[in-house]
Amino acid sequence: MKVSVFGAAAVLAAASSQVLAQSTCNQWAPCFREGYCDANAMFCLWGLCDPIKSFNSTACWQPEACATQTVNFDSAADAIPIKAYSGNPATNAFLSVFEPNHASVANGNLALQMTYDPAQKKGFGATVSASHTIQYGRTTARVKTASIAPGVVSAFIIRNDQTGDEIDFEWVGKSPNEVQTNFYFNNVLDYTKMVPYNVGGNTAADYHDYTIDWSPEALVWLVDGKVIRTVNRKDTFNPATNTYAYPTSKSRIAFSIWDGGNSGAQGTQEWSGYPTPWGANTMYQMLVDSVQISCGGDATHPPTTPPTTPPVTPSGTPPSSVYPTALPSTSPVSPPQKCIPRPKYY
C-alpha cells in the first residue's frame, strides 16, 4: 500500500512539487474533476482525478493495490458515500460515487436504488466502486438484479475509466432471465462482442453467483460456477493496428443501476427496453450479497492496517473562493452512440 493515500489530505502538494503547466487548481484544492477543484476523495481518488489539470503531479491519489478479501456487507462501513472516505481502503471496501447517494448497506446486503428524478425525467440510480484496484484476478459477486421492468439496467463491471478497458456483466429489464457479457479495450465501443446467457430464471427474483476470471491470457465468465464464456487474448489480435484488443489496465470493480429506457438515446432504449415504468412511489433496487476478490498480477495479499502517517497539508490560509460548490449531481450518463451507448460508471 502507498502511505500517501491514507488520509484525505495526504497527497496535497508539498512546496517543492512542480506545478503542472495546464493546472487549474491550487494547493488547498489540488485535485481537478470535471471542471472543479477540491481536496477530498470525490475529486482526488484515482480514476476520478484528472492528473493533467490538477495542481501538480502528486495531487491525485495513487491507485491502491488489489486486496484479496471477501466483503459480506455486514457493516455500514463496507460501503460509504465517497465524500466520507478518508483514503483508507482497509476500512471502506466500496464507495458510492454519485450524489445524492442512493446506495447503502442494509440487512447484510449492498443495496443500490433508483428513483425517479422529475428534473431529468428519468431515474437517478447509483454506482458503487471498489476502493482497491485490480489488475487480473478472480471476482465473484452474489447478485440479485433490479432489472424487473423494461429500461432498468443493472451492471457488475471491472473498468478503467481513463483507458476505457472494461469487462462486464449487464442485465436489462427487457430480458429479465438473461445476463449479457462483454469486454472493451482502449475505449473502442464494439458492441458486436456482447454475448447473452439465459440464467434459467428471473435474475431479479433470486441471487446468483457471477464470476469474472481475468488473467493476462484469458477472460472467463461464470454463472453459479459454470463457465459460460471464454475469450483468449491471442484471439483478439488486430493486424491493422498490431495490437491485442484485450483489457489489461489496472481497474476498479463496480456495481451500477441506471435508467436506460428513459435515457433519450434510441440505441440504449432499444437495448434495455422502454419506456421505463415510473409511478409516484416506484423504486428499483439491486442487491449485492457478497463480493469475493482473489488478486492476480499486481498483488495477492489480504487488506492490512495502514501506517498512521500524518497527512501533508499546505501552510497558510486558503482564500475564501478556493473551494467550489458541490460537484453537480451526476447519474450514469450515456454518450451518444450509433448503437448501445455506455454509461460512465465512476
At 156, is the secondary structure helix, strand, or coil? Answer: strand
Is 99 annotated in the active site?
A: no
Q: Are strands 178-184 and 166-172 parallel, antiparallel or unpaired?
A: antiparallel
Residue 271 DSSP code: H
Beta bridge partners of 152: 259
**Among 34, 64, 99, 166, the one annotated catalytic:** 166
Residue 252 DSSP code: E
**Among 34, 64, 99, 170, the one annotated catalytic:** 170
Phi then psi for residue 172, to 5 deg, are: -120, 145
For residue 108, is it left (φ>0), alpha (ψ between -120 and 50) or beta? Answer: left
Phi then psi for residue 242, to 5 deg, are: 60, 40
Residues ≥6 apart with Cβ < 8 Å to 292: 69, 70, 138, 139, 140, 141
- Give the CA angle between residues 315, 1, 157 to the nearest 5°: 110
Residues ≥6 apart with Cβ < 8 Å to 90: 1, 67, 303, 304, 305, 306
Is 64 annotated in the active site?
A: no
Residue the block writes with cell 492496517: 305
Beta bridge partners of 295: 137
Closest CA to 15 of 3, 5, 27, 4: 27
Residues marked as catalytic: 166, 170
